[in-house]
Structure 1
Amino acid sequence: MEKLKLLKRGAESNIYEGYFLGIHAIFKQRIRKSYRNPEIDHKINYERTILEAKLIYTALKNNINVPAVLYIDPENYLLVLEYIEGYVLKDIINDLDSESLKKLGKEIGKIAGKLHSIGIAHGDLTTNNLIKNPVTNEIFLIDFGLAKRSDDEEDFATDIHVFLRSLESVHSDYKDIIYESFLKGYEEIMGNKTSQIVNIVKDIRMRGRYIEERRKNKFNN
């Protein structure tokens, strides 16, 4: 481990950039929670570190663009991953033309579809967790900290809902063009399951609106 540089402090982990055996890498260190029983805390962090590594490896083995796992130390809750060169999509979407946005949306849809087709829900599918390599133009999906194994269409719909919410909150001017293309790419992989999952997405959004409306009425009264 060489010249570690802190990139991000999070509620669940700290992210560092550095080198591992000469390879440019990301070091993800899970954080102990003082409010939890130490044995339970160790068990949660230990198991979560192993699970995250396994899910990333499974995705990589199925030709999904994710970082390679370089090293895992579950006793110390440490995961070392390949550093992905490129730009975070959140930072570049506003600079792309409509044709590029369509291609981008479709590619993200394919990535999500491939992940769901092998029984993995990402848990945090946002433009902040997608990186575009400027040389190859490939899109990579990162941060599997909330990912899980699942065959539940509700989990897949939640991924899509989270992605759509990220578009609405950060890229509202380009939401429609990206999301429409996303669904086309997703359908190429998931086929006739897509319509059912999209219907669940609509249901999730309706539930969210109902809860928000109820909160407003409670506040106003």
Structure 2
Amino acid sequence: MEKLKLIKRGAESNIYEGYFLGIHAIFKQRIKKSYRHSELDRKINYERTILEAKIIYTALKNGINVPAVLFIDPDNYLLVLEYIEGNIVKDVLSTSTNSSLIKDIGRRIGELTGKLHNIGVAHGDLTTNNLILNSSNDIFIIDFGLSKRTHDKEDLATDVHVFLRSLESVHSDFKEIIYDSFIEGYREIMKDKTDEILELVKDIRMRGRYVEERRKNRLSNK
């Protein structure tokens, strides 16, 4: 481990950039939570570190663009991953007016998501901030800290819902173009499962609106 530089401080982990055995790498260190019992905290962080590494390895083995796992130290909640050179897709989409590029990126994100879902993995935080476009024009998906193994269609729909919400909040001007292209790419991989998952996305959104309306009503009646 050489010259570690903190590049992101998160709620679940701190992210450092540096070199591991001469390889440009990302060091992900899960954070201890003082509000949890120490033994429970150790168990959660230990198991989560191993699970994240296993999920990334499974994705890589199935030909999905994710960083390679270089080293894992579950006792210290540390995961060392290949550093992916490139631009955050959030920044690419926020600065581009090229509709062909925007559609292409949306479609390829849909394909990536479909490939993950097809092997029984829900990402858990599917936003354009967790996608990288490299110099070879390949898109990589990163940060599997909230991911899980699942074939439950509701979990898969939640991934799609999170992605749609991120488009609405960050890329509202091109939301329709990106999302429609995303669905095209997703359908190429998930085939006939797609419509059922999209129906569940609608249900999740309706539930969210209901909760939000109820919250607003409570506040207005105070």
Instruction: State the TM-score bracket (shorter-chain normalisation).
Output: over 0.9
How far apart are the structure 1 equivalents of 2:192 and 2:61? Answer: 25
Which stretches in structure 1 are left out of the alignment for 5+ residues? Answer: none
1:181 is aligned to 181
The residue type equivalent to 1:105 in the other structure is G
Distance 1:30 1:94 in 2: 30
Question: What is the identity, as a one-letter code, of the residue corresponding to 2:212?
Answer: E
SS of the residue corresponding to residue 195 of structure 1 reads helix
Per-residue displacement from partner, 1:155-190 (whole Å, max 9, x unpaired)? 000000000000000000000000000000000000
Aligned to 1:9: 9
Give the drift of 1:11: 1.1
Q: State the alpha-carbon separation in 1 of the partners of residues 55 and 175 from structure 2.
A: 29
Rounded to whole Å, the distance in 2 between the matches of 1:211 and 1:34 is: 31
Give the RMSD, CA atoms, in angstroms: 0.6
Unaligned regions of 5+ residues in structure 2, if any? none
Shift of 1:94: 2.4
Find the aligned partners of 1:171 and 1:24 in 2 and give their Cα distance.
Answer: 31
Letter in 1 for 2:61: K
Amino acid at match of 1:114: K
**Letter matched to residue 4 of structure 2:** L
Residue 128 (structure 1) aligns with: 129
Query: How far apart, CA to CA, are the structure 2 residues paired with 1:5 and 1:198?
Result: 41
The within-5 A match list for 1:154-165 is 154-165=154-165
- Measured in 2, the distance between the counterparts of 1:139 and 1:185 equals 13
CA drift of 1:215 comes to 0.8
Count, aligned residues: 220
Query: Match for residue 83 of structure 1?
Result: 83
Is 2:101 the partner of 1:100?
A: yes
Matching residue's letter, 2:64: I
In 2, distance between residues paired with 1:40 and 1:215? 33
Given the two structures, how large is their TM-score scaled by the length of structure 1? Answer: 0.99
- Alpha-carbon distance in structure 1 between the residues aligned to 2:32 and 2:211: 33
Check if 1:112 corresponds to 2:113: yes
Matched to 1:113, the amino acid is G
- Give TM-score, length-normalised by structure 2: 0.98
Q: CA deviation at 1:91?
A: 1.1
Counterpart of 1:173, as a letter, is D
Alpha-carbon offset, residue 92 of structure 1: 1.5
